[in-house]
Amino acid sequence: MENSDKKKRHDAIMNRKLILEVADSLFQTYSVSEVTMKQIAVECNIGQGTLYRHFSNKAEICQNLMDHKIETMFNVIDEIKHSNKTDEDKIKYILYTFVRLINDNKQKLEEMKRTGKRSSVMMNLHFYDRLKVDIQACIENLEIVSNAEFHTDIMLNSFSRDVFDYYCVEKKVTPEQFADRIHFIFIERLMI
């Protein structure tokens, strides 16, 4: 490979890293919805064409910023899945892990969901299916419902931003209390 090709590739990697750092900083200063792609390009001192070569929209930027946090969440979930906890408790601790992620990253996750056709549902998140598989396996093991897939989908979609914000912001319920209530409705109540 020629030196000019290596330099171009290095520059592209550095631009991508700069875009993510600047976008994250802007998202912390302003809300994600207030920040524009043009603003990100200006703050990075790059052209909008360069920005769009790396990311086609803010949702892609948010997804890249979230990837490490999501992987960390799934590492914790893997530990929970392989623990000696009951399936009922595994679901509860998976929900706690998930609720911490969504509480700490609401705006980025909302921007990621907005790119889909059904902007208000959790199913549009790129990691939804992976999370669903983990919870659905526990529900199937508990044998508390005849359709574990439907039950899991409805349970996870209880964490949509509108519902979550209403209870955690308006009603002052902590994220863990919210997860406990969802766990009670969808799991504990059926175990009785």
| Closest-CA residue to 106 (of 31, 158, 176) | 31
0.85 surpassed by pTM: no
User: Is residue 175 within 8 Å of residue 168, measured between CB atoms?
Assistant: yes
How many whole angstroms from its chain centre is CA 55? 18
User: Is residue 44 within 8 Å of residue 51, measured between CB atoms?
Assistant: yes
User: What's the average model confidence in pLDDT over 99-126?
Assistant: 77
Given this model, what pLDDT does residue 74 score? 97
Tens-digit pLDDT profile for residues 2-33: 666 676 687 788 989 999 999 999 999 999 99
What's the chain's average pLDDT? 90
- Per-residue pLDDT for 75 more than 70? yes
How many whole angstroms from its chain centre is CA 58? 14
